[in-house]
Amino acid sequence: MKTLKNWTLLKSDANHVELSVDGKHRLNLFVLEQGMFRVLIKRENKLALNRTWSIAPENDVPWEGRDRESLQGFALPGFTVEERDETLCISTDKLRVTVHQPLWLEWEYKNENGEWQMLASDRPTSAYLLNAHGDGVAHYQRRFKEERYYGLGEKAGPLQRTGKRYEMRNLDAMGYNAESTDPLYKHIPFTITRRPDVSFGMFYDNLSSCWLDLGNEIDNYHLPYRRWQAESGDVDYYLFLGPQVLDVTKAFVRLTGKTLFGPKWSLGYSGSTMHYTDAPDAQNQLMSFIKLCEEHAIPCDSFQLSSGYTSINNKRYVFNWNYDKVPQPKVMSQAFHTAGIKLAANIKPCLLQDHPRYQEVVEQGLFIKDSEQDSPERSIFWDDEGSHLDFTNPATVKWWQNGVTTQLLEMGIDSTWNDNNEYEVWDGEARCYGFGEEIAIKNIRPVMPLLMMRASLEAQQAFAPEKRPYLISRSGCAGMQRYVQTWSGDNRTNWNTLRYNTRMGVGMSLSGLYNVGHDVGGFSGDKPDAELFVRWVQNGVMHPRFTIHSWNDDQTVNEPWMYSSVTPAIRSAIETRYRLLPYFYTLLWQAHADDEPMLRSTFLDHEHDAKTFEECDDFMLGRDLLVASVVEEGQREREVWLPENGAGWYDYYTGQWYSGGQSIVVDAPLERLPLLVRAGAALPHSARITHVDAKADTMRELKVYPLQGTGVSHGSLFEDDGETWGYQQGNALWLNWEIRCTADEIHVNFTRKGDYQPAWKEMTLTLPAGEKRRLVVDGKVQDFWKI
């Protein structure tokens, strides 16, 4: 690749500065917000891809993508431009960049004292590179010792990415090693750089396969550096100031789009296994799951039909029902609905070459086309060859939505499970319709799953417009949070996966994917033993997505009752999940409305506590609940670092208070997941330990964990009917409280907004065991609040 060197200023307007580079390229520097700039390089003043599907600062993008140079949705503040000898300085009140000669950029931010401080810097030696003959671009920045790197979405290994090299190339990584396998399923070239004084984010809006080196590589001819390099496309990145890590994460979500606010039942237990739908009597197997849930008193809200329901001779054919296995889909669906269980069905975007409808799709021109011939591309897919649907063709979208509607929704299926959508099309020049402007697949591969899930979502919305849609997708790119819940793919059963899946989930959450989870118990490999299964369920119930799923090599099935000796412990963990559903649902609302992560690294709210940056197995669920998962075999005590929060922590079970900023050892018997609650918090609980039903949810308890001394804290609860759009017209309950503690009394005062009337009429308040202070609710000595 060729280094870009000499630049001259061409023009400056109200929104950006444009430079000519080496007499033929263009560097555009956009000032989008006080703390957000964008750098876009046009090779020979042309874009390799003239639109984007990830950037959505306002509303969703058009189907055909957002004009890459659009500035809609940004504040576009004023800025100054100062040209000096061989430098150019562009400044807002918070952020400034200096362009040096030969080409490299140096970034500074203004601290609380109004002083400009170094933020980031390209390496002065060869910062921007383009392949002189077409594809391939790279960007090199300096790397500093005090920096820590996070982000990159779904990645194996430690939460901190420093010193590692990663690849973004969506793969169906069946049975991956959660500590080391790379690449995986998702494409999110977004990094968070954290320094002791400040944090900033960088997002490369490039959809081709790429590599990010965060300190693995060194070169004698350059200062220590970090690198982003892409197979094709443009250098197009957004740099935005924190100053805290949480600020960076939230800014990234605002840049790429709001989190989907799904129905409340999506937070309940979701059953699944390959075994049931692969069995010759799949319908009977599935119906037995309902009975077994009842028999073992396991609450369940949904079940995911694996792709075996579509099979012909053990291969999978999307939108094809195997009526030998499932003779009465509508009868089966009704049985699940009667039990309060919704159904999600697996669908795949590739049609095998012997699919009953393959020729029909060929004739309509709905597949991605071969790079050299006027025929569909062919790729390896599920033990055969097949062709991938082209979702940049509106006719394909229409065909897909018709299939979702007639073959799933009209059969009683409630939701779509968008799976195997990594689009492993390795003919990079294979042609996509591109909404009338042909695009090579190498430039937009991760967009295909994004458009697939959007097509599925809109089909669900059209079929049931009064209900909020819920769907899941395994693969995708930045922006997928607008449409789906996701998970970490086909993990392997072992203790190491349990440990590193947790970090993977927190890493996704730091990268804007808040509604996440894992295949509890492990998807591939032999079945988990009883102890591992219990610990995995205990961990899983504390994630937004809680699904037990498996395709065990030994032909066993991961089910809550698979070991009778530990079924009570499994049931207890799931019951804890259902008691906490009001808290989970409030977190989902806050993720949607306020861009707040649900899963949170322990440092996210405690950056002042250096200990929280050490690699650990703990995470926060919301701001209030510290989850100390047990991820080691035989462990019955658990050392936990309590972040210094100025208020301390309570044991969730015993009510014992501990000061923060210390390490404690808590009991971790097999039947208990160690949990601690932030002092000053209050956790809403339900007594309903069965499927979600707002009309039958008649009790609320608010467990108050008061400050030990004097002081004030706050909290909130969101309630609505759990499935409609009524909240948009105010038909919801937004309940806020203030907890004011004195030496003798604990005052809890409520304010409410919204006209929703829940089934529960009053909320009982409880205090930890041993708390002697008097409870005063809205000025009265009482332990309840009436709605």
Residue 511 to residue 529: CA distance in whole angstroms: 33
Q: Which residue has the tokens 């009265």?
A: 780
Q: Which 3-state string (H, E, C) describes 91-126?
A: ECCCEEEEEECCCEEEEEEECCCCCEEEEEEECCCC
* pLDDT exceeds 80 at position 402: yes
Quickly count helices (H) and strands (E) in the chain.
11, 55
pLDDT one-digit tens code per residue, 181-238: 999 999 999 999 999 999 999 999 999 999 999 999 999 999 999 999 999 999 999 9
> 700-704 and 711-719 as β-strands: parallel, antiparallel, unpaired?
unpaired
Closest by CA to 188, choosing from 226, 151, 150, is 151
List the structure tokens of 550: 């498996």
> Quick one: 205 exposed, middle or buried, by C-beta within 10 A (0-12, 13-18, 19+)?
buried
Ordered domains of the chain (ranges, CATH): 2-152+188-256 (2.60.40.1760), 693-786 (2.60.40.1180)
- The predicted structure's pLDDT at residue 134: 74
- Residue 85: band (very low, low, confident or very high) from pLDDT cuts 50, 70, 90: confident
Task: Please give the share of the chain, as a percent, with pLDDT higher than 90.
Answer: 99
pLDDT one-digit tens code per residue, 57-74: 999 999 999 999 999 999
- The predicted structure's pLDDT at residue 279: 96
**CA separation, residue 448 to residues 391, 442, 484, 536, 652 (Å):** 6, 11, 14, 32, 44
pLDDT one-digit tens code per residue, 332-357: 999 999 999 999 999 999 999 999 99
pLDDT one-digit tens code per residue, 725-743: 999 999 999 999 999 999 9
Residue 185 to residue 191: CA distance in whole angstroms: 17
Strands (DSSP E) along 512-577, which ranges? 516-520, 545-548
- The predicted structure's pLDDT at residue 29: 98
Q: Which residue has the tokens 């977004």?
A: 190
- The predicted structure's pLDDT at residue 724: 98
- The predicted structure's pLDDT at residue 64: 98
For residue 19, the surrounding DSSP H or E stretch is strand 16-21
Residue 776 to residue 787: CA distance in whole angstroms: 16
Task: Find the mean pLDDT for residues 17-37.
Answer: 98
Task: Find the mean pLDDT for residues 308-336.
Answer: 97
End-to-end CA distance of the chain: 67
Task: Please give the mean pLDDT across all residues of the chain.
Answer: 97
Q: What are phi and psi of 79, to 5 degrees?
A: -150, 165
- The predicted structure's pLDDT at residue 76: 98
- The predicted structure's pLDDT at residue 445: 98
* pLDDT exceeds 80 at position 429: yes
* pLDDT exceeds 80 at position 137: yes
pLDDT one-digit tens code per residue, 457-472: 999 999 999 999 999 9
* pLDDT exceeds 90 at position 579: yes
* pLDDT exceeds 90 at position 544: yes
Neighbours of 112 (CB within 10 A): 7
CB 534 within 8 A of CB 558: no
